[in-house]
Structures are given as C-alpha cells and as structure tokens.
Amino acid sequence: MQALLKRIGVDGVRYQEIFITSFDGDVLGLYDYLTEYENIDELNHLACLLSELSRDELEKFEAIIDAGHHTSSVKDLINLTYNLDCYDFYPDIEDEEALGRLYLQEYGAIPVPKALVNYIDYEAYGRDARINENGHFAPGGYVRGSGGNFAEVYHGVQDIPAEHKVFALPRLNIREQMAAYQDVIDRSSLEGDRRPPAKGKQEHDGR
C-alpha cells in the first residue's frame, strides 16, 4: 500500500488524500453502495469479514443488500456481516408462485387437502406472504426478516483489528522529503505564473 501511494504521489507532502475511481469484486452488487471517498481500512475490514463467510452466507448477504437493507455506509455493511441471522433466505425462490408453493407444500403454512393441491392459487398466496413479510426477490432467491434484533457490533475505525489495517502514508527518507517539498514549491510557482494579472495592473500597464 505504501509503495502504491508513493508511486501516485500521496506521500503526506505532495498530496495527503485519495479518492477511488472504481470498484470491482465477486460480491454481487456491493460496489453500488461504495463511494469514492471510502476509508481504505474500513474497506479492507469489510473484505476480510466477507472472505470468512460461507457460500450460503454470502448469498444471503447479497440478497439483503439487493433489497437495500443496511447499505447506507460501509459501517452498515460491516455490521450486516455480524447480523445475517436476522434474515431468512430461500435460494432459488424467484417469484410469488414459487414462494406460495414453498410455504404451502413444503412448510405446511396452511393444511391443504390433497384433493385441492392443484386448485390453490399459489401466486396469490405468495404475493400476500411477500407483502406481509416485506420480503424481497433477489437474483439468488427470496429474503425476509427473521424478527431478530440487529446488533451494532462495529462502531467505527477504532474497532478495526490491527491486522486488518493497511493504509499508511509512505515513509520518506530525507532526500525524498526534500524532493517532495521542492515539487510542491515548483508547482506553486507555476500556478502563480499562470494566474492573470490583477485588473488594476492591467489598466495601469495599458496606460
């Protein structure tokens, strides 16, 4: 990280801040909720937590954020990784009819006589269930709240374990420091030369 920052001039002298121009990754839709000024250590902490999830847990995480829950900040996303049990996820349930069949045929939400199995409007039942549960059909399946209490485990960067912290400005030796300061001075001089003369001076020179 320090080598990268040094290469792009973020050394604490020339520049002290960074912004991220794009994101990529294997977690479906995650980059839609990340902004250009995210904290690198928070992003790395989130990445470490996601890497520890099982495939099933990761699919549930993707479904929850697709529903737009707990996506307002990286802090929210981090806390979501600790609270996946607050949601139920049913893989491959992609529409209201499939949801209705799941609840009635597999889970027996309402006893249905065998003679009537083929006469049930499963789509209507699934639609009512989704509305009542405030559920969501995500690309990987159906997700709904389980009624559990969402706990705020992560409160801020002070909670990031030391082994997950990666951001640090480069350590410059004396020669590098002097070169950086000289670069700042040179750029300031160039910017001063490019500024147009003050209006009063222009009028005076014209006379």
Q: Write out the chain in H/E/C secondary structure.
A: CHHHHHHCCECCCCECCCCCCCCCCCCCCHHHHCCCCCCHHHHHHHHHHHHCCCHHHHHHHHHHHHCCCCCCCHHHHHHHHHCHHHEEEEECCCCHHHHHHHHHHHCCCCCCCHHHHHHCCHHHHHHHHHHHHCCEEECCEEEEECCCCCCCCCCCHHHCCHHHCCCCCCCCCHHHHHHHHHHHHHHHHHHHHHCCCCHHHHHHHHC
- Using one digit for the tens of pLDDT, what is the confidence trace for 146-201? 999 999 999 999 999 999 998 887 676 777 767 766 776 766 766 655 556 555 54
Q: Tell me what pLDDT residue 175 has.
A: 75
Segment 43-59 mean pLDDT: 97
Segment 47-66 mean pLDDT: 97
Q: Tell me what pLDDT residue 56 has.
A: 97
In percent, how much of the chain has pLDDT > 70? 82
pLDDT band at 207 (very low <50, low <70, confident <90, very high): very low
- Using one digit for the tens of pLDDT, what is the confidence trace for 90-133? 999 999 999 999 999 888 877 777 777 788 899 999 999 999 99
On average, the pLDDT of the chain sits at: 86
Q: Tell me what pLDDT residue 196 has.
A: 60
Give the global pTM: 0.79
Identify which of 59, 68, 66, 83 has the alpha carbon closest to the alpha carbon of residue 29.
66
